[in-house]
Amino acid sequence: MRTVEEHQAIVAALIRPPAPVSMAIADAAGLVLADNLVAPNSLPGFDNSAMDGYAVLASDIAGATKESPVTLVVADDIPAGRTDIPALAPGTAHRIMTGAPMPAGADAVVQVEATDGGKGGIEGGGKVTVFESRAAGVHVRKAGEDVAAGETVLPSGALLGPAQLGLLAALGQATVSVIPPVRVLVMSTGSELVDPGTPLRDGQIYDANATMLLTAIRAAGAVAEQVHFVPDRVEDFYAALDDRLGEFDLLLTSGGVSAGAYEVVKDALSSQGVEFAKVAMQPGMPQGAGQFRGVPVVTMPGNPVSALVSFEVFVRPALRRAMGLPRPSRTIVRAVLDEDIESPPDKRQFRRGTLNRETGSVVTVGPAGSHFLRWFAAADCLLNLPAEATVLHRGDTVEVWPLD
């Protein structure tokens, strides 16, 4: 029987990073940068005004006060976006807007609130009276003070969020090289399964696993599609994958992996490169992993709690690690048990629970059985109970994985 750690290592080795791709920056949110980003140009690209006001030569207004203001001729107007910028002559000012290029000859900006606002317009001898002095460089954004051309501004592996993508756009980058999401094909198996919304016949059940796993995969940052569940016949299993498998990086199945009859996944894949084993855990003991037709395959039990716990323990961290995403594993916290519980010998047990973050205590939710999905829906964490702990008492400290 494998340990949890042994099977985690097997699954992690199967799910490899996809090759980097170039995509539009608008589509890259939540992905990670494949290569260092080297700035092709500086930010700002030119000296510009940090204020609405007047571009001046600092020495022209050196003694300006409210009691002894300085009046300058307003020789020109520089709105943001103007490209033909005239030089500033000594003894004059140019009205300037935030972000507009600084004219040659000017070395400071006086914000409009420190003036009379200007009178007489730009043409016909307009003037502005300045009530405060400004040192050279005040309210001027210097070219390259944010980013210098040739500087590495984002390292490979950086997660691309709003600020990072905004920086790319500011540098004029329309596309970016990223690690794309892992593409996962999800298959539920079992002749008893029907789609939600379909009338049930005796002996049939609704397929919960497909919806559950599709959602979990997408929440982990990967992309997922479903191949319709197949009945317990090997030929149907193969046929369902004929036209789809090659489009994906991973096949994830649930059901058909136990020791009984009609275990279609085990029957179809055990001689095709997928190894099946028991893992010392509860729930989720029967597991499988390998390759089928060159595509990595991870197989999980069919009971819904077993399937979701198996995903959390084995698949989610491997997916996120392959995509370079931060915090591939769930955050681990230590919490104080608020009840007495028992755990099976020689098996790692994962119990559903609720965590009280104010008190640092945790209690289990619902029975331990692998079909009690309702109680997983009520939980906000998993208790990770070690194999050697068969009896735990109130007041004991346990490892807890908070869930999304």
CATH code of residue 229? 3.40.980.10
Same domain, 77 and 160: no
Q: Are 68 and 200 members of one domain?
A: no
DSSP strand pairing (175-179 vs 183-189): unpaired
Together in a domain, 55 and 162: no
Tokens of residue 188, six digits: 């539920």
On whether both 52 and 34 belong to a single domain, the answer is: no
Is pLDDT above 80 for 352?
A: yes
For position 158, which CATH number holds?
3.90.105.10
Q: How far apart are the first and last CA of the chain?
A: 31
Count of beta carbons in the 10 Å neighbourhood of residue 250: 24
Strand ranges in 97-222 using DSSP code E only, listed in sequence order: 108-111, 127-130, 140-141, 152-154, 175-179, 183-189, 193-194, 205-206
Phi, psi for 265 (deg, rounded to 5): -65, -45
pLDDT of residue 136: 97
pLDDT given at position 231: 76
Considering only 102-116, 168-182, 258-272, 335-349, which range has the smallest mean pLDDT?
A: 258-272
Q: Is the pLDDT of residue 91 over 80?
A: yes
Q: Which of 156-170, 199-213, 219-233 has the lowest mean pLDDT?
A: 219-233
Residues 77 and 189 in one domain: no
Please answer whether residues 157 and 179 qualify as being in contact, where contact means their C-beta atoms are separated by less than 8 angstroms.
no
In the predicted structure, residue 155 carries a pLDDT above the cut 90: yes
pLDDT band at 258 (very low <50, low <70, confident <90, very high): confident
Predicted confidence at residue 120, as pLDDT, reads 77
CB 55 within 8 A of CB 85: no
Q: What residues does 289 pair with on adjacent strands?
A: 275, 298
**Distance of alpha carbon 374 from alpha carbon 378, whole angstroms:** 7
Domain of 354, CATH number, reads: 2.40.340.10
Q: What is the domain range of residue 294?
A: 4-17+181-322
Quick one: 186 and 175 in the same domain? no
Is 328 inside a domain boundary? no
Total domains, the chain: 4
Domain match, 13 and 29 both: no
Residue 64 domain flag: yes
Lowest mean pLDDT among 1-5, 7-11, 228-232, 350-354: 228-232
Q: What is the pTM of this model?
A: 0.88
**How far apart are alpha carbons 106 and 50 in whole angstroms?**
14
DSSP one-letter string for 105-136: T--EEEEGGGB---BS-SSSS-EEEE-S---T
Assess whether 214 and 308 both reside in one domain.
yes
Pair 289, 300 in one domain: yes
Strand order through the sheet with 295-300: 223-230, 183-189, 250-254, 295-300, 286-292, 274-278
Domain contains 117: yes
Across the range 247-261, mean pLDDT stands at 90
Rounded-to-integer distance, Cα 194 and Cα 209, Å: 11
Going across the sheet that includes 32-33, the strands are 21-24, 175-179, 32-33
293's tokens: 């037709």
Q: pLDDT digits over 364-387, tens only?
A: 999 988 889 999 999 999 999 999
Strand partners, 382: 352, 401
Which residue's structure tokens are 């829906």?
A: 377
Residue 384 lies in a domain: yes
Q: Considering the domain boundaries, does residue 147 fall inside one?
A: no
113-148 confidence digits (pLDDT tens)? 999 999 877 765 799 999 999 999 999 999 999 999
- Under 8 Å CB-to-CB from 280, ≥6 apart: which residues? 1, 2, 3, 4, 346, 347, 348, 387
Do 31 and 169 sit in the same domain of this protein?
A: yes
Torsion angles phi and psi, residue 119, rounded to 5: -140, 145
263 φ, ψ to 5°? Answer: -95, 85
How many CB atoms within 10 Å of residue 22? 12
Can you point out the beta strands (E) in 284-368? 286-292, 295-300, 333-337, 341-342, 348-356, 361-364
